[in-house]
Amino acid sequence: MGRALQLHYAHIGGIDTVDLHDLFSFSERIPTLPAIKPIHEKYGQFGRYDQQKVIVLVRDPRDALVSRYHQHKDKLGFDNLDRYACESSDLDAYIQFYNDWQTHQAEASGFLMVRYEDMKASTLQTVQRVVDFLALPLTSDELEQAIAYASFKNMRKMEVTGSDQVRAGVMATRDVRNPESFKVRKGAIGGYRAELSDESVAFVDQAVLTRLNPIYGYALASNEQRP
């Protein structure tokens, strides 16, 4: 989104220096834009939402759990992935986070759920939903250029080479000596099944099947065969 805004407003001096991950900075430069703040906010953490639109970005919590382990394993206190998946409270935290936002979505002035899996399968259409929701003046050509820029291959390349756009903040590499710690690691859908033991897969599948709001569609993956 930041790249698309940068392209659209290229005629504004200094817009090429704005941190693409800091979408709020674009609204500071261009007052007609909505103030967009990407944040890991639990429902109710910072007050009411009746004057705000909310976009909840989600990924299958089992894949998110595996990704979190690889990025932060030195700080999590578990010596292997299976123990972390089955013994930590993080999967429950993901499920609670997702459920809370669904339960209270009507309290926001507008609500949009965007799944990582849909973003991969139908990137332009999913991004267009976000653009329409926010009423942003972006063209299809700008979106397609931004999508190419933010492709997995290009983001991985920027992280490996230490591009200025990923050197700090949310895209900063955790350990340049360990590719598994990279923010852009694999991006697989359902990849948790290849990384966890059969017993752990059964455990996390059961948690998602029985406790996660089915509107997300992730319980369906419980019936898939492991690769």
Q: How confident is the model at residue 169 (pLDDT cuts 50, 70, 90)?
A: low
171 token code pair? 């895209």
Closest Cα to residue 132, out of 116, 117, 114? Answer: 114
Per cent of the chain over pLDDT 70 is 81
Q: Can you tell me the distance from the alpha carbon of 18 to that of 25, in angstroms, rounded to the nearest whole number?
A: 7
Options 3.40.50.300, 3.90.870.10, 3.30.360.10, 3.30.420.40; CATH of 2-223: 3.40.50.300
Which SS3 state, helix, strand or coil, does residue 129 take? helix
* Mean pLDDT computed over every residue of the chain: 86
Which residues lie below 8 Å from residue 61, measured CB to CB, with a gap of 6+?
91, 94, 95, 98, 208, 212, 218
Residue 224 vs residue 102, higher pLDDT? 102
**Is the pLDDT at 222 greater than 50, yes or no?**
no
**Is the pLDDT at 215 greater than 90, yes or no?**
yes
CA 61 to chain centre: 11
Q: How confident is the model at residue 147 (pLDDT cuts 50, 70, 90)?
A: very high
Q: Can you tell me the distance from the alpha carbon of 31 to that of 199, in angstroms, rounded to the nearest whole number?
A: 53
Output the CA angle 193-198-203, nearest 5 degrees.
85
Query: Tokens 């953490």, residue?
Result: 45
Q: How confident is the model at residue 159 (pLDDT cuts 50, 70, 90)?
A: low
Query: Tokens 């990704």, residue?
Result: 67
Taking the C-alpha atoms of 160, 60, 113 and 151 in order, what is their torsion angle to the nearest 10 degrees?
A: 20
Write out pLDDT tens, residues 182-208. 445 456 789 999 999 999 999 999 999
> What is the per-residue pLDDT for 208?
97
Q: Can you tell me the distance from the alpha carbon of 62 to that of 204, in angstroms, rounded to the nearest whole number?
A: 7
> What is the per-residue pLDDT for 20?
87
Closest Cα to residue 136, out of 16, 57, 53? Answer: 53
> What is the per-residue pLDDT for 185?
47
CA 142 to chain centre: 21
Write out pLDDT tens, residues 10-66. 999 999 999 888 899 999 999 999 999 988 888 988 888 999 999 999 999 999 999
Q: How confident is the model at residue 225 (pLDDT cuts 50, 70, 90)?
A: very low
Q: Can you tell me the distance from the alpha carbon of 165 to that of 28, in angstroms, rounded to the nearest whole number?
A: 19
Q: Can you tell me the distance from the alpha carbon of 49 to that of 107, in angstroms, rounded to the nearest whole number?
A: 6
| Phi, psi values for residue 225, rounded to 5° | -85, 145
**Beta-carbon neighbour count of residue 125 at 10 Å?**
10
**Is the pLDDT at 163 greater than 90, yes or no?**
no
Residue 48 vs residue 124, higher pLDDT? 124
